Amino acid sequence: ELVKLIVTWVEFNEPVKLVGGAQHEWGNEHSSKNSCRGFLEPVVNFLIRMAIVNAEGKADRSQNKLRIRILSVLNDIISVRQDYEIIAAPLERVRAHCEEACTTKNNPPDSIHKDDFGMSANAKKNIKSISHQNSTTQSYHSSPQKKDEICAAHDALSVCLEIFLIFQRHDPRNYFIQKHLCIILPFGFSHLASNDDSNLKQVIKSLLTLTLADGDASSESLSSIICLLNNAISCSVLNPAVSARQCQEKKCGSYLAIEIIEEVSARNRIFVESFIGSLVDFAFVNAKSLILEIEKSKNPQPMQQLAGNAKWLPATPTIGIFETACNLGFKTPSSGSKELENERLDTKIVTVKEVDDIEPSTCALISCLRLIASSSIRLNFSERRRKFIDVLNMLLDSCKKLPILITVVAVIRKWLTEEDGRFGPLTRGEREDFLWKMISFDYHDLPQVASNALSDMVCITAMGACGYNLTQLQHRPNDVQNNAHEFKISVSQPSQDILRDQMIRKLFVTCLLSANFRLRSMAVVIFGTEQNEVKVACDSLESICARDVLTGNNSISGRSPFDILRQLLSADYEGLGKRLWTTIFAEILLACSDHSDGAYLACKQSEHQLFEPREKSKTVKRARGFLRPTQYQASKQQVLHTNRNNDYILNTTYSTFQKAILTERARKRFGRGRCLIAMRTLIHGCVDTCQLIFCCVLKAAWQNIPTNERRASLIKPMESLLSRPYHAQFLKIRENSRINAIQSILRVILHLRPLPSLDVFLIRSLASNYSCQREVLSYFEQHFTVLKRNGLEVNISSSELIQSILHVYKTLGDDDMIVSINSSLSTFKGTKFALSLDMYGFVIKSTDAYLALIDRVDGARKDFAPPEFELSVWEDRWVKGYKELSQWHLIDEFAASHGDPELMMECAWKVKNWDKVKSLCASPSVIASLVDGDPVTKMSEIFLAIHEGKLSEVENLHAQTAQLCLHKWQLLPSIGTDSNPHKVLLQQFQRLVELRESSQVMVETSSHSSGRTIPDLKNLLSSWRHRVPNSFEPISVWEDLFLWRQQIFDAVTSNFSWSEPGTLATLHDRPWTCISLCRTARKHGLKEVSMLSLSNLTECAMDVQDAFLKLREQVFTYRNATASHLKGGLNVVNSTNLSFFDARQKAELFRLKGFFLDALNDKTSSNQAYCNSVQICPTYSKAWVDWGNLCASLFVITRKKADNQPDAKLESTKKSNQYLAQAMGCFLEAVRCDASEHSRDRIPHCLSMISNDGAQYGILCQTLEARGVLLPAWVWLPWIPQLLTSLCRIEARAVKSIIGEVVKDHPQAVYYSLRAFFLRTPRR
């Protein structure tokens, strides 16, 4: 009630304004003033005391309303009168409570000024007694009571600060606030750090901002506040050993202090100079902690990233935006937030954040950077400046937060140039460092859409350095079109040093690929209007840029195609090396084309007209292949009413489209210029379209160059551009599609006529480095054709072009093409003969031929002097042949004599010369090959590490080798029908897998061997059995795999030599490995390799199955040889003890015996051997097939005898048919036993035998009828047409039963063929 009375009194006793503007108060001026002050001063003190007491009480809704009312009344009173004398006793009570709360929380304020507040000794004594009483009874209070006391102190402090804010607004010169503000304020920062109260933060911020900005504070107060702010900023910097919670609390105060400084500095720029030291320290410490946090959060997975293209940038920034929008369905919500929504008709709305919310620490660091940049530190070359430069460099190098990066770029832009167009206060080294970091920004880890803000800032920096003030475009990037009358670009003339600065020019080139259409358009115009690589006059740029950005007519006029091409080829695209910078070529060449006249569709023969000005005429004749408008100023009736029958369609369905077309025509924004502008925009979003347009415009520009001399002058810049090392090898375009800038430009060069003659070695180096082998081969072929047509001799082995072609085919692994080219270039018939043998797979004969040629050279015959090219061909092919023959010792000697370290390394580990492997790994040549990224050499290090037991290093070496293989895979062209290099890499991947498994085997065997236990390796050995090369792969591929397995088996055997032989045999698979290698070599016709592989099993324990397979392969080595070898094979079979083998194995040995006897022309014994084989194992189909072959051969022999003996022809014919019937029976029995393809191949032979019965139903038909029905019905399905035709012949009865069985099981397979046969057959 008292408050209400005071409020009412104040409201009704304010000064009354008279009509003349004077004020009337109570009585005269002096008396009324004193009486008002005398009455209001106790009221003000009462209200202050009452507000503080209210805050110290229990907080509830009524108390809060009362407190708000009190402060409102106090504000009204102080706004009426000033210069009140305030009693400080309530403030001392607040101070005591705050000290007690800080002691309880163990969080004292940073600076507490002990002052008596002008109180008497009794008052101070009372306050001290209260404080002592509270401290003594503190231990008896419960924890909730302490919490209530802390909250009460916090509320009292908030009220006290609000009272200070009221006085600061209306009576800033009052002694009360001048003296006591700096005493209470530190407690505010302390409580703010522990509670993070937004209201308290706002009060302190407003209070200090008013105090510091108005200039009414005393010098003592001002210095105290500045000291307090400095301490608040520095507390988190100078105390790194505090706990995380205390550090966070300190940071809250430092964040508030930075906000206050930023607010005051906006009004008083000099104010920030007092905080430079603490701000620099704060920026350094927080930037360093931010970088450490980013490094800890990284989880690199290089193998998966490369395999999944995670580290590839999109071809253009625009494609990155389209990819984000199309793949995720992003759309910007209308609320203007950073959230992007994916709205689908059949699902609920999914909200995705592309950019995280800005954290308070990030905001504080950004404000700190801005404050430091606006100070005079840039002009003072001090330690603080150097430290701040280090902060900027640190953030540019490692920071991945876009707001911070944008702020850093803005700071650099401000320091880069002065307003008069000269370089700013940065030194040359600092400027080049900053510009280089901006040029080489790594956008991999930044979001595709949001990172364009950073790209735009870089573009604005580059253009600003060249004299273009784009501040208006920076603040309103999307509103320029709607405010064209207000938009104006100011242009200043920069110094020539800036224009000639290489880094500035590199940075400017990055603007040409910006996703911001207006920035890119302006950059294109500026780039196109450069004369002699220097900026044009300033008086024309302002109008050009304003017109181009606003109207869209941003064409480049007055430049010839030659000038533009020379400028494009001479530009430095290092900042765009990770992008498809050929898009710039396409856009600028389109911008230089003629934008006048209407759009038309030109035929291929008229592409050069793209750059030729055409005369405008009112009518243009229509020609075939052209699509041109006949009249651009056509009337509305001509456009809309060409067909009166369709008027209702135009007036209904297409009415909206009609209005849009009329509006566009009314604005005169149509024609060829708009079409080209649309194409220039489209090429930034579609790589395929960009490539097609690039090809078209570059061909047109090349053809419009008047002379070949000028074209030739462009070759050097073209070669210089292609030879730059910054081109990206991979670009992220879309799935199953790859292209890079080198591929793009080479594909276009192939279409240029006349073809530019580029350096052969340069083009050859591009083939393997940028995955453009196909493009390079096409260029070489065209180059070869042109040289041939001009009469130059290029069919010589020493030709650089030929050597380059061979090199590219070698990288593609096309061995047939290499052999063919070598054969065409060779001059000796012996070379052609050896290469022919090599091409057709005669390894032994071709190797002998190469060796004979080399021996002729070593014989030092004067009449035999082969060229160096052919000699190298002989040696290379001889080495390859001896690799297939496993002659590694001879190859090692050859490699040592010729100093080939890679070949010596391969031979060393295969012959188990590990000392040599270790020495070669340390040689400079091998280290150089490792630097070049050779995975084969790196694999040798893994071999050595496993052999030496350094198993901890294997995992790291394995990861590095896999990375090299994946990188090499990406550099290969797309997989085609004959992808030999892909096969080689797949084989290396398999070897890598087995190397890793070998390391695990060695770890497991070592642990089990030390504990005298037996490991379980069955799963590994089983997987190794299934993981073998294809049977048609070269034997060297098998050896690379199997030789290493044998070394692992040797190591396992040596570790478990103490175990029993039977147990030891289960720990390795050496017999199966050697036998498999032997079988493959035998099938390749390499008997020497087969026997060499079997020789490794002399001292190896094996089971019966492995022993039989070894014996079988040993016997097979004697087949298809001379009589002496055949007898040797027969002796091996006869001397074998058969008691250990089962029936099927015995049958196989008897079959082999029959084969050797048949080859030695002992038919009777051979027949007996086959008979024994099928008797031992009646279901062994191979024995039946071979016995049938023997009977068929006897039929042939008997038939020949019958032809020579006419007298006994009848008897011989009968006997021969019996042999043939026996052969048919054997073949059909083989199919019944095993219906494999090997057995079923004899069915057509059986059907052809029936014709030997003649006109009677003889023994052959009987055999077919008896045994044919016993076979599975499905084996006859391929031969149904032959069986149906047999129904009209003598064997119809035998065939009928077979067809009947087929019809029972497969009626559909027989019906249509039988119906067609019935309808075509004449009825009898």
| Residue 632 pLDDT | 29
Band of pLDDT at residue 1232, cut at 50, 70 and 90 = very high
Name the band, by pLDDT with cuts 50, 70 and 90, for residue 88. confident
Closest CA to 1284 of 1304, 1313, 1323, 1311: 1313
- In this predicted structure, what is the pLDDT of residue 633? 34
Q: Mean pLDDT across the stretch 266-282?
A: 87
What pLDDT shows up at residue 57?
67
Confidence band, pLDDT 50/70/90 cuts, at residue 758: very high
pLDDT at site 1223: 93
Residue of higher predicted confidence among 1065 and 1034: 1034
DSSP 3-state assignment of 468? strand
The predicted structure's pLDDT at residue 841: 87
DSSP assigned state of 16? E
Confidence of residue 490 (pLDDT cuts 50, 70, 90): low
Q: Which amino acid is at 259?
A: E
Residues 25 and 424: their CA atoms lie apart, in Å, by: 62
Chain-centre distance for alpha carbon 825: 43
What percentage of the chain carries pLDDT values higher than 70?
75
Report the pLDDT averaged over residues 149-174.
77
Q: Which residues contact 183 (CB under 8 A, 6 or more apart)?
A: 91, 95, 112, 113, 115, 117
Q: Across residues 312-320, what is the average pLDDT? A: 84
pLDDT at 39: 66
Q: Which of 531-540, 721-730, 757-766 has the lowest mean pLDDT?
A: 531-540
Structure token digits, residue 444: 């991999």
pLDDT in tens, 375-433: 888 787 888 889 999 999 999 888 888 889 989 988 888 888 765 556 667 888 888 88
Model confidence pLDDT, tens digit, residues 1048-1100: 998 888 888 888 888 888 888 889 999 999 999 999 989 889 888 888 887 77
Question: Per mean pLDDT, which range of 192-196, 679-683, 829-833 is the poorest?
Answer: 192-196
The mean pLDDT value for 300-308 works out to: 44
Cα–Cα distance, 377 to 369 (Å, whole number):
12
d(CA 90, CA 47): 11
Q: How far is CA 508 from the centre of its chain?
A: 26
| 355: confidence class by pLDDT, cuts 50, 70, 90 | low
- pLDDT band with cut points at 50, 70 and 90 for residue 619: very low
Specify the pLDDT at position 551: 44
Q: Which range scores top for mean pLDDT: 46-55, 75-84, 673-682, 1035-1044?
A: 1035-1044
| Eight-state DSSP code of residue 377 | G
Instruction: Characterise 411 by phi-psi region: left (phi > 0), alpha (psi -120 to 50), beta (else).
Output: alpha
CB 545 within 8 A of CB 504: no
Q: Name the one residue in this structure whose structure tokens are 């083939």.
A: 767
Least confident of 651-665, 941-955, 1169-1183: 651-665
Q: What is the mean pLDDT of residues 541-566?
A: 65
Amino acid at 589: L
What pLDDT, on a 0 to 100 scale, did the predictor assign at position 1256? 83
Q: How far is CA 1244 from CA 1184, 1232, 1276, 1279, 1283, in A?
A: 16, 15, 10, 8, 10
Beta pairing class for 23-24 and 468-469: unpaired
Would you state the structure tokens that stand for residue 437, as one six-digit string?
């970091």
3-state secondary structure of 265: helix
Question: Residue 642: what pLDDT?
Answer: 35
Residue with tokens 């295969």: 910
What single string gives the DSSP state of each residue in 998-1057?
Answer: HHHHHHHHHHHHHTT-----HHHHHHHHH----TTS-HHHHHHHHHHHHHHHHHHHHHTT
pLDDT in tens, 792-841: 777 676 688 888 999 999 988 888 899 999 998 888 888 999 999 999 98
Contact indicator for 695, 751 with CB cutoff of 8 Å? yes
Distance (Å, whole) CA 195 – CA 210: 24
Range 131-152 average pLDDT: 49
Q: What is the pLDDT of residue 486?
A: 43
Residues paired with residue 423 on neighbouring β-strands, in sequence order: 417
Question: What integer pLDDT is reported at residue 994 of this predicted model?
Answer: 93
Of 83-97, 352-366, 1137-1151, the range with the highest mean pLDDT is: 1137-1151
Kindly report the backbone phi and psi dihedral angles of residue 531, in degrees, each rounded to the nearest multiple of 5, phi listed first: -115, 120
Residue 754: asked if its preceding bond is cis (omega within 30°), the reply is yes
| Parallel/antiparallel/unpaired status of strands 23-24 and 339-342 | unpaired
What is the largest distance, in Å, between two alpha-carbon atoms of the chain? 172
Cis peptide before 186 (omega within 30 of 0): no
Q: What is the average per-residue pLDDT within 870-883?
A: 92
**Per-chain mean pLDDT for the chain:** 77
Query: For the CA atoms of 730, 733, 736, 740, what is the dihedral angle to 10 degrees?
Result: -40
Q: Are 1222 and 1267 in contact (CB under 8 A)?
A: no
Query: Could you identify the residue written with the tokens 């008069």?
Result: 420
Query: pLDDT class for 691, splitting at 50, 70, 90?
Result: very high
Determine the pLDDT at residue 663.
66
Mean per-residue pLDDT for 70-88? 78
Find the mean pLDDT for residues 759-776: 91
Selected residue with higher pLDDT from 624 and 451: 451
Which pTM does this prediction carry?
Answer: 0.76
What angle do the packed helices 924-931 and 901-910 form, to 10 degrees? 100
- 583 confidence band (pLDDT: 50, 70, 90): very high
**DSSP secondary-structure letter at 771?**
T
Contacts of 400 (CB under 8 A, 6+ apart): 294, 445, 446
Range from 123-137, 204-218, 290-304 carrying the lowest mean pLDDT: 123-137
The pLDDT of 651-665, averaged and rounded, is 63
Of 745, 742, 741, 731, nearest in space to 317 by CA:
731
Query: What residues form DSSP beta bridges with 339?
Result: 353
**For residue 701, what pLDDT band results from cuts at 50, 70 and 90?**
very high
**DSSP3 helix / strand / coil % (the chain, rounded to 5):** 70, 0, 30
The pLDDT value recorded for residue 1065 is 83
pLDDT score recorded for residue 22: 40
Rg (CA), the chain: 48
Residue 575 buriedness (CB in 10 A; 0-12 / 13-18 / 19+): buried
Indicate whether 180 pLDDT > 80.
no
Helix (H, G, I), strand (E, B) or coil at 352: strand
Band (pLDDT 50/70/90 cuts) for residue 1222 is very high
Q: Give the mean pLDDT of 491-509.
A: 69
The predicted structure's pLDDT at residue 159: 80
Q: Which of these ranges, 193-197, 358-362, 1119-1123, has the smallest mean pLDDT?
A: 193-197
Is a pLDDT exceeding 90 seen at residue 745?
Answer: yes
Average pLDDT over residues 247-267: 78
